[in-house]
Each structure stands twice: as structure tokens, then as C-alpha cells.
Structure 1
């Protein structure tokens, strides 16, 4: 097993996840089996209880793991399926060590950070590195050959120290020829001087070396391209050759990053450091794929405008996978995505009274869109704004897609306006519990006293009840599909018959037949809502069917696509 540790310096949020994913994509293009691990040095057990404003969206895996959004990057770039244990947190490590101590596994010894915590980190990494992340055509599990480990945070952070020390020891445990350290650092360009400054990177590398890790490669992040002089200066003061300094400036899309890294010799550097036998001609197909993808993305001219009505719109990372899914679908339809975020509460009458300008601007944005998306979320704030947006999309025949809470709000809206149940609501919003029409209810297994890991999580089956379904056709006429879930509430089965009699069709349900998974409306260009989260499994060249349907309908191409008259711009990603 070969290990590549990706660390960050100067500031957080400089793109370590994209760099790590791009390295993995290049190595996978070299016919190597690759896996990835993300380390988050916070004490939370997982990302499940985070507010989206803390770390962006919570990404959900097949096994129900609620993890950091960077694992979404890994899955999309590498086209693999990861596990909950591929996300390590300080909380998980300490929980494991404390449980061992309580059982007496340490035989009465004093439990310390070194060696017990650091050993637990190393053991965890070594165990997870060998977990299969994909299957061969014969159905056999494929064991990875390379494990990319991204250490979250910034070198020098006190919470990351145990992990840095663990990897200082780990490089000797697995032998130096099997270990490579890639350090990602920022080179700022102050407007006052107009020149790139290398001192922060020098200080960061000095800190890393002082902790016992020497970078084998330094990836320099900058707003504008850096000169060869700056590159040579970093080489001289950071004790690496000029070829080991890789410069990645801000680009129009992340699809450019693997290409830029390949052109600067990343594959050759890794092959030399890790003694990998890689013929020069092998990565060409993968690099050509990323080049073509980036070129197509840059040259899109026709636009499609989608309004996302959510409650966490102040941080776009809150809807990272949703945005990626829309981009995947737009690229397949050869359209440039123009995504507009609308704060759901701005569409409510309370905003009209308190801030009429914001209210009318929100409605103007919604009315100018080609399609409407209401994503998942929790809590009552903004719920009425989402319901109002759905009512507009339904009555104005505007293409609409609801995800998770979006489905629940669509059911509430329909019940209020078509069945005239004015008090129709979800028990999540009905804090006083005085409604007679709880059309959305708590799931029986929901444990309200414990927030972590108590939802319906992970990959579950959805069965189509009818062949007369737009979404079933978009899924290739499959009778059964599997998608990832993350929710605590569901449509009340007691009201399904009433809703269907009025025209809301529950075309998909779970394997018990009790949980409603998909709704559609007839006599509408595209009114679809799903209880699951299809964005988690969308890939650059395998767009998620519900999102693809929204984009096709928003471009007036859905009927021609379903009739076979419109072809998507796709490549066979599996055979790259």
C-alpha cells in the first residue's frame, strides 16, 4: 500500500480536497486502484449534527455515514464508493480509545496521547486503506493500491497535533518508499505591492518540518499564476526541487486542476517518490477526459437559470452536492448553469411587511427562473417561503424539483390548496401540536432525544408503482432504484389516498410500501419531488436523473429526450 498525506498551510479552505481528489484521479488514470481518507480534527463523532454554516453540507454515504463534504469530492472524482470509516474525527479516535480503556484492554496502563491516541490513528488509517471501494466486472471486490489521506485544518493548529505526530511515526511504520507528503499552501498577492509573497509558505513548511514531516511536493495556491522566480524561491527556501513545486491558481472550474497538475509533472513526482511503475502513455486517456470536460464547461454559451429556494443560502457550500448535480446535468444538456440562491424566508409575507424591497427582489428572481429547486433542510424557519415557491411553480407550470424537505413541503402545499386543508402541516413545524391534518409526520424510529445518527440514513431501495412515470423513464425504466437517504420525517400514510384522488401521484415507495419516496403531477412540464437525496450519487458524466429531468424540462428538452430525439453530451466514465 502506498500512502499520500495531503496537509495544508497558512489558511484553511484553500482547496486541499480538490488537490487530493485530483491526485487520486490522475493515479486512477494510471490504472491504479485508489481510495481516500479525510481527517477532521474536531471532537464531534461525525458531521451529522453540524449546522450547514459550520462546515457546509453533510455528505451521506451508502452505509449511512454522515461525513465531511470532501468525501463527496473524492467519490465524484474517483468514481468510487467510500465508507463511514473513511472519515476520521478526533471524536471517533478518542471514543475508541476510551472504550478500550473501560474494557481494560490497556491492562491498567496510563492512557496517553502518545502512544495510545497516535497508535489508534495509525491503526485506523491502515485498516481503512484496505477496504474495497469498488467492484470488478465479475463482482469481485477491488482492494486499493494507493490511499490518499487529507488532514483537515492547518499545520500548527493545536487540535491537529496528535494526527501530525501519528503520521510522523507512520512514515517509518510503512517505510519511507511507501509514504509521500504533499503540502498545500497559499501564496498571497497583496494589492499594495502587487507581487506574490512566499514568506507564509516558508513559515508553514518550516512548521511542518519542525513537527517531523518533510514535504515531498508543495502545491502552491494563488489567485493569479505565479512566476518562475517565485517558484524557484519556494524551492530554495523550502528544501525541495523546482519540479516539486506545483502551482495551481484560481481557475474557472475544478476540472482544470487534474490537467494542470499532470502538466507540471505530478505523476512523475509521485512515481519517483513512491516507486510506482507507470508507463508515460497510460494517463493520457484520463487527462484527455478532464481536458475535454474543462473545455466544454468553459465554452458553454446558452444558459439555463435555476432558482434554489433554501434556508442556508449565506454559505454556498451548504448545497455543494446540489450545485454539483445541477452542473453535471447542465453540462450533459450543453447548457451553462446560472444558479440563483433565494433565502426562503424572503418569500414570506412577514418579509413583505418588514423589508418589502427584499421580498420583491426574491420574488422577481424566482419569476425570472427557468426552473425551481427546493432542497433538503431542517426546522420551521423558511418553511412557508418554500411552500409559497412550490405553489407558484405548480400553478405557473414551471419545472420543479423537491428534495427531501422539498417533497414534504410540496405535499403540504398541495393539501392546503387542492384539498383545502388549511391546517395541513408537518409535525416538525407544528410546535403546538394542534393540527388535525399532519400530512408529514415523525418516523416511528425517530429518537427526538438523540440527534446524532438517528435519522433514516444511507442507501435504500425505492420501488416504482407504475410504468407511467417521468422519473422512472429518466432512470432507464428500472423498476427498483437505490438512492441515499437522510431524513426524520415522512408523508403520513393515512392521507395518501386523499392526496392521490386529487391528482398527486406517489409513483415510488420503499420496499415496505408504507413510505412515500417519489411524487409526480400530471399535466405539468416537470413537477417531481423525492424523499431521498439523489445529489450524493451524481457524477460528472453520470448526472442524477431527477436533476437531469429538471434541467431538461427547464430547457424545453425533456419530451424530445424521452422520445429519443435529443442526445446527451456524455462519455462512458466507467471505461476511462
Structure 2
């Protein structure tokens, strides 16, 4: 097993995750088995409770682990499914150490950060590094470790010490450290002092940089790169100005990173299979504009997987569509006059989210799309919004809403806490539905569900007769089954159901008015776009003409 540590010491958010994913990509194209670990030094157990408005998307793995969005990049770049082993946080490490102490496993010893926490971190890294990936029966050849934050953060100190020990144990020939740091540009000149200080700080903690990847807005002067080489002592300096993230593997390949890694770590590669992203980078014949109306639209990365899924769906030879996304915060549509801003878009997506804020505005958007025949895809909360809108404006249930959105004494709800209550009885009265008691449980991760014969969704998934499909979920509330029957009678049909959960609904009289309870974006990959995104783009571009170049 060979280890590659990727860290940084100037600023966070500089692209360490993209670099880690890209290095994994070029190594995999050389025939090597690659796994990636993300270390997040925060004290949260996982990313599940982190706010997307501040931290970006919470990505859900197949095993139900809620992770940082970098895990999504890893899966997409490598074309694999990762597990909870690939996500390490301070919160999880400390909780597991304390649990072992409570069980008496330390035999009365004083439990300390060193050696007990650091040993547990090393053991967790080794376990993840040796675990076969995505159906393979053999351990990977290379483990890439991305350390979140920056070297010097108080939160990172324990991990730095654990990584120092790990590298000492595996010996230099089997590990290396890559720093991804930012070269600040002032008055047309790149300043390298922060990178120099970063390197010095890392050495003080026992980590020396073997490679420095210099991020920047523009091309860096040779003199500046020479300073980085001199003061960091790194064997290789790589320049990486801003570019399309899908071009990063090519840029690193052009900089000779594959050859360097092969020689430095004594790797054996086979015939190269390059071009994984070529179809994504190639010019497209058509374009369409998609509005994403969400609760967390102030943070562009809050819906990163949706944006990437649209890109993958449009990049196939059959489609050749460039999907241009624009984010709208739900608050904009508190004034209904602003719905006119959606006229310029070929399609709309209402993504997932939690809580009451913005839902009434989403309902307005769903009504606009339904009445104006604009293709609309609802994801998770988006499906529930579409159901509420249809119940209110077509079935005439003016007080229809969700348990999540109302006070406990108000019971006019059609979205039920489905996870613990399979059968919610109706209360007598025209538009009143009894809702179940709120629960803290959640339906999460990859799970089976079923397309129903003869439905649009069955055709979209290529199984017109109906069949089992697998998707990833992250929700607590679900549509009450009895309400779904009323909606069906009014034309809004159930297209996906697993027996107790309503997982997809569709409106046949509309070009594309489909909501799903799951998150198809979490399973989309460059070589395997999820079919619902492909169908959505087809509806958005129906009748469109090729772009003029």
C-alpha cells in the first residue's frame, strides 16, 4: 500500500478535493486501484447536521453515511462507490475512543490524545486504505488522504501527528506529501511568502512537502515558482491556474505528475486509458437553461451534485446538450411578480431541504411550472412541494400542508412522517388528514424501490413493465398513501413506490412534471448519468435548434 497525503497551509477551499480526485483519476487510468479518504477535523460526528448555506452540499453515500461534498467528487472522478470508512472526522474519532474507554478496553490507563487518539486515527486510515473498493476483491494499490482545513489549525493538530507517525511507519519510499497552496497575486506579481510559511509550519510538525501545487488565478511567473522550490525544498513544483475542474486531470498529467508518482512510489502501471472526461469537455450542439430554486442557493456548492448530474446527462453523444444552471433563493418568490423571472428558463428544479423556510415560495414555483407547461423536476422536498401544490390547487384542499411545516396542534397535513408510521388514518372532515408523531429517525442511503408498470418513470428507467431500481434517499417525511390515491384520481400518478413509500409521482398531461423522493444526483457519474436527468433535459430541449458557433 502506498499513501499520498494532500494538505495545504495558506487558505482552505483552494481545491484540495479536486486535486485529490484528479490524481486518483490519472492513477486509475494507469490501471491502479485507488481509494481516497477525507479527513475533516471538525467535531461533528459527520456532515449530516452541517448547514448547506455555510458548508455546501451534504453528500450521502450508498451505506447512508452523510459526508462532505468532496466524497461526491471522489465518487464521480473515480467512478466508484465509497463507504463510511472513507470519511473520518474528529467527532467520530473521539466518540469511538471514548466508547472504547467506557467499555474498559484501555485497561485502566489514562486515555490521552497521544497515543490513544492518534493510534485510533492510524488504525482507521489503515482499515479504509486496505478495504477493497466497489466490488473489487483485492486491496487498492494507492490510498490518497485529503486533510481538510489547513496545516496550523488547532483542530488539525492531532491528525497531523497521527499522519506523521503513519508516514514514519510506512517509510518514505511508500508515502509522499503534496501541498495545494494559493499563490496570492498583488499588482500583477505573485507572492509566495504564505506558501513558504506554510511549508515551514508543516516541517515544524514533522511533515515535509514533496510536491507543491501552486494554485492561482493566472499563470505564475517562473521566478515565483523558483522561490517556492527554494524555500519549501519540494522535489516538484506544479503550477495550476484556475480552469474547468474537469480539465484538472489533464493539467496534472501535462505537468508530469503521473510519471513522478510512478517513479517516486515505485508503482507499476499498465496501458493507459485516458479520456474519462473528454465527452464532458467537448463542445455541445445545443444548450438549455435550468433554474434551480432552493433554500440554500446563496452557496453555489449546496447543489453541486445536481449541477454535475445535468452536465453528465447532457454530455452523451445522443444528447450533446450544455445545461446552464442559475440559482434562485426561494425568498425571491415571496413576491409572486418575480415568477416572471422564470420565463427565460427551459426547465426548473426544486431540490431537497429541511424546515419550513421557503416552502410556500417553492409551492408558487411548482404552480407556475404546472400551469405554464415548464418542465419541472422535484427532488425529495421538491416532490412534497409538488404534492402540496396539486392538492391545494387541483383537489381544492386549501389547508393541505406537511407536518414538517406546521405547528403540532395544526393537523391539516398530507405529508406524513412515513418512517415510523406506515398507515396514517384520515380524520373525518373534507380536507383534514391525521399526521403521525414527529420522529428523529431518517430514511437514508441506497435503497431499493419499484417503478410501476406503464408509467413515465418506468419508461425513463428503461423498464416499461416496471422493475426494482436502487437510489439514494435522505428524508424523514413522505406522502400519505391514501392521499396519493386521491391525487391519482385527479391525474397526478404514482410512478415509483416500494410498497409503503410513495417515491415518485408524475403528471402525464405535462411535458415533464415529475417529483421523486430520492436523490438521483448522488448516484450520477460521468459514464452513468441517472436516466431521470437525461429525460428532464430531453423535455427541456424538445424542439430546440442546434447552437450556432
TM-score of the alignment, normalized to the shorter chain, above 0.5:
yes
2:293 corresponds to 1:309: yes
2:142 corresponds to 1:146: yes
List per-residue Cα deviations over 1:210-266 (Å, max 9, x = no partner): 11011111111000011322222211111123xx11111101x21110000011111
Deviation at 1:69, TM superposition (A): 0.5
Partners of 1:432 and 1:273 lie apart in 2 by 62
Instruction: Tell me if structure 1 keeps the 8 A contact 2:419–2:442.
Output: no
Deviation at 1:180, TM superposition (A): 1.3
Partners of 1:347 and 1:93 lie apart in 2 by 43
Name the residue aligned to 1:554.
540
Task: Please point out which of 257, 261, 270 is paired with 2:248.
Answer: 257
Partners of 2:408 and 2:96 lie apart in 1 by 40
2:183 corresponds to 1:196: no
Partners of 1:311 and 1:341 lie apart in 2 by 10
Please, which moves more after superposition, 29-38 or 333-342?
333-342
Q: Output aligned runs, 1:163-312, within 5 Å.
A: 163-190=159-186, 193-241=187-235, 244-251=236-243, 253-278=244-269, 282-283=271-272, 285-286=273-274, 288-290=275-277, 292-293=278-279, 295-296=281-282, 299-300=283-284, 302-312=286-296
Gap change, CA 1:521 and 1:480, over 3 Å in 2: same
Instruction: Tell me if structure 1 keeps the 8 A contact 2:280–2:311.
Output: no
Instruction: Tell me if structure 2 keeps the 8 A contact 1:423–1:435.
Output: no
Name the residue aligned to 1:356.
none
Instruction: Tell me if structure 2 keeps the 8 A contact 1:391–1:413.
Output: yes
Name the residue aligned to 1:324.
308
Deviation at 1:370, TM superposition (A): 0.4
Deviation at 1:557, TM superposition (A): 6.5
Name the residue aligned to 1:526.
512
Name the residue aligned to 2:493.
505
Deviation at 1:432, TM superposition (A): 4.5
Partners of 1:148 and 1:217 lie apart in 2 by 14
Corresponding residue SS for 1:134:
coil
Please, which moves more after superposition, 230-239 or 66-75?
230-239
Corresponding residue SS for 2:506:
strand
Name the residue aligned to 1:433.
409
Deviation at 1:382, TM superposition (A): 0.7
Instruction: Tell me if structure 1 keeps the 8 A contact 2:352–2:381.
Output: yes
Name the residue aligned to 2:444.
457
Deviation at 1:278, TM superposition (A): 2.8
Partners of 2:439 and 2:168 lie apart in 1 by 41
Deviation at 1:301, TM superposition (A): 6.3
Partners of 1:382 and 1:205 lie apart in 2 by 45
List per-residue Cα deviations over 1:536-572 (Å, max 9, x = no partner): 01112321211111111100069xxxxxxx9xxxxxx
Corresponding residue SS for 1:4:
strand
Name the residue aligned to 1:355.
none
Corresponding residue SS for 1:135:
coil
Name the residue aligned to 1:545.
531
Instruction: Tell me if structure 2 keeps the 8 A contact 1:424–1:435.
Output: no
Gap change, CA 1:300 and 1:195, over 3 Å in 2: farther
Gaps of 5+ in 1: 353-358, 559-565, 567-576
Instruction: Tell me if structure 2 keeps the 8 A contact 1:427–1:433.
Output: no
Partners of 2:284 and 2:459 lie apart in 1 by 27
Name the residue aligned to 1:572.
none
Name the residue aligned to 1:574.
none
Name the residue aligned to 1:66.
66
Deviation at 1:300, TM superposition (A): 3.5
Instruction: Tell me if structure 1 keeps the 8 A contact 2:479–2:501.
Output: yes
Please, which moves more after superposition, 513-522 or 475-484?
475-484
Partners of 1:514 and 1:432 lie apart in 2 by 24
Partners of 1:49 and 1:370 lie apart in 2 by 33
Instruction: Tell me if structure 1 keeps the 8 A contact 2:460–2:532.
Output: yes
Name the residue aligned to 1:375.
351
List per-residue Cα deviations over 1:333-382 (Å, max 9, x = no partner): 2222221111112212xxx3xxxxxx64x423212110010000011111
Gap change, CA 1:95 and 1:432, over 3 Å in 2: closer
Deviation at 1:289, TM superposition (A): 3.6
Deviation at 1:142, TM superposition (A): 4.1
Partners of 2:536 and 2:158 lie apart in 1 by 46
Deviation at 1:422, TM superposition (A): 0.4
2:383 corresponds to 1:407: yes
- How many residues in Structure 1 have an aligned counterpart in Structure 2? 528
Instruction: Tell me if structure 2 keeps the 8 A contact 1:186–1:222.
Output: yes
Partners of 1:378 and 1:57 lie apart in 2 by 13
Gap change, CA 1:471 and 1:496, over 3 Å in 2: closer
Partners of 2:437 and 2:300 lie apart in 1 by 28
Instruction: Tell me if structure 1 keeps the 8 A contact 2:53–2:297.
Output: no
Instruction: Tell me if structure 1 keeps the 8 A contact 2:418–2:479.
Output: no
Gap change, CA 1:4 and 1:460, over 3 Å in 2: same
Deviation at 1:294, TM superposition (A): 5.6
2:397 corresponds to 1:421: yes
Gaps of 5+ in 2: 422-435
Instruction: Tell me if structure 2 keeps the 8 A contact 1:307–1:365.
Output: no
Partners of 1:213 and 1:70 lie apart in 2 by 23
Gap change, CA 1:142 and 1:519, over 3 Å in 2: farther
Give the TM-score of the pair, scaled to structure 1: 0.88
Q: Output aligned runs, 1:13-24, within 5 Å.
A: 13-24=13-24
